[in-house]
Structure 1
Amino acid sequence: MGRQYPVYKGLQRPLVFRGFKGKFIYYGVGCLLAGLVTGALVMALVNMYAGVVVLAAIIAGGLIAIAQRQKKGLSDKSRTSAVQVHRVNLTKRGKHVT
């Protein structure tokens, strides 16, 4: 029987597999498949060594990019570091005080 990898899924928690959470697992699988297909095409059309380089570059680059993107969280919310000031409009006897 092959190796078994633990997959953790707790209550109200995202699926975790080898450090990747939720939707990033699917992004990782897509990156692996894209690297394999592109590497195989380059191996068939150009050169075996060039294909191996392309395959390794796509897989490694994609997984690193996904890991960096995962640090921002599962949802794609914009997080600015700017200070946002909201004006408060108070009404006093029908007139706005600013």
Structure 2
Amino acid sequence: MDINFNGIPVFKGLQKPLEFMGIRGRFLTYAAGAIGLSFLGFLLSSILFGKLVGFIVMVCLAAVGIISIYVKQRSGLHSKKRHHGIYFFYKMYDR
């Protein structure tokens, strides 16, 4: 939806949910954290063990982070615990 303001189109808000490369909403910050953590893992392990080991650690940390984000994303942006079964509540209020 564009609104003209003195002949200039003005766009208000996002028309679609925020998504980047298949990662939606709040999971974008998780992805940035996972990539940052993998970079730090690369730095530490390359200092301690060498650059090849650092690269392997970086790739493994990034892969684990991105895969876990995709798995969590499948349960939804607002994932909640779902209890299955029938529950009976006794004495909800006093008589």
User: TM-score, normalising length from structure 2?
Assistant: 0.72
60-69 vs 46-55, greater mean Cα deviation: 46-55
Q: Deviations over 1:49-93 (max 9, x none)?
A: 11111000000010000000000111131123x22244699xxxx
User: TM-score, normalising length from structure 1?
Assistant: 0.70
Consecutive unaligned residues of structure 2, counting only runs of 5 or more, are 1-13
Identical counterparts, % of pairs: 27
Local SS of the residue matching 1:14: coil
1:83 equivalenced with 2:85 (yes/no): yes
Count of residue correspondences:
79
Q: Deviations over 1:19-62 (max 9, x none)?
A: 11110011001100110111111111211111111000000010
Q: Select the residue among 59, 67, 72 that pairs with 1:69.
A: 72
Q: Which has the higher contact order (CA 8 A, sep 6+)?
A: 2
